[in-house]
Structure 1
Amino acid sequence: MIQAHAVRLFTEHGYDATTVTDVAEAAGVSPMTVYRHFPTKEDLVLVDQHGRLVAERIVASSAAQPLVRRIGGALVDSATALTGRAPGDDLTASERFLLARLRLMISTPALRARHLDNQYALQQAIVDAIGDEATDPDTAFHVQVAASACLAAMHTALVRWAEDDGRTRLPDLIAKALAAAFGDDIVEGAGGIDISEPTGRAERR
């Protein structure tokens, strides 16, 4: 609820022009309550459940799969969980909220800088989710490289999604970005998405 008010105020009045006190007043709480849940102003935009969702899906995936397929599939599946839109449906409330947050991240220098920190944190969450499979330094390095490459593809998809006003489903865009980077077989079937059509259009089976 606090975050929803913050994103609305940042969108309506500008990130720099809106204070944490403004957010607290809109949410009907004290500034200390805001800081208890969001230690910095940037956190009001950047904090989400993405890292937890990605880690859960990697843990549930088969270790027999190629590493990039596991990570890519987790990114696509978590995007499906966060947005929740079926093909042909209008934007969900979750998608509209995520779009507003993304636009703020793209347009606000302070948020762009902190977003990079979030990418590092998500990369580490992926490495941690791989767990005992990445105990030796060489394997851990391999996981870090694979995670970083997948996250770069996802970031490109997120920016495109925001620029496109969410018209294409986010999981489909992430799948297409991963396929462009690693080949169609890396994400084929992830989240029920088929990116193998000659048109290059991602569709749900």
Structure 2
Amino acid sequence: MKGTIVNAAAVLVGSGLGLALKRGIPEKYQSTVMHGMALAVGIIGLQMAFKTENILVVILGLAAGAVIGESLNIDGYLNKIGEWLSAKFGSQNNPGENNIGRGFVTSSLVYCIGAMAVVGSIQEGLTGDTSTLYAKSLIDGIVAIVFTASMGIGVAFSSVSIFVYQGLITLLAGFFSAVLSDSIIKEMTATGGILIVGVSILMLELKKIRLANLLPAIPVAAAIAYFWPTM
């Protein structure tokens, strides 16, 4: 799990730099930078989504994943963690600041849904190759600077999400090595790409989406892709 540990550490370092820069950046600049990042995240999501070779797998995965996610109320639990962080650390960071939860939830989704998180963790679990996660660490560290300057210290707490999420995938990859074909990974990536577009919509505050409740769509799409040739 070296790649995941480095990734989490990179986000913490980037968040520290972002907090230092935050004090010297006017709010209007932070807002515009945030909107620019949101548009870039949307493009990344679309590029991932277009990797699908069977859109029906993605659609079915999203539909079934939504049912599972709503029944588990993943979004509700994630937001409760965000609210707890805001209540616990908000006054210490900046009196009146109320966006710690938003920073935690948004950055956790951005860092954990992407293709590099899934593919890189699987790669490390199967072969021990950490190159993809190291590259992701560099990118995430830079993004953390911008995110933290805009959304505050909540971004730093997303390092815990990275450690748990990617670490779990890495550990599970060895158990499922025989079934994780390239076609399955492509459909997982495409499904994750659609969720990344959802993150962009949330960042732009265009629509409230219980996006975390769609996270089960990624493993569900993988399962459907595995059985699809026999269906």
TM-score normalised by the chain length of structure 2: 0.30
Structure richer in helix, relative to its length? 2
Q: Which has the higher contact order (CA 8 A, sep 6+)?
A: 2
Report the TM-score when normalising by structure 1: 0.33
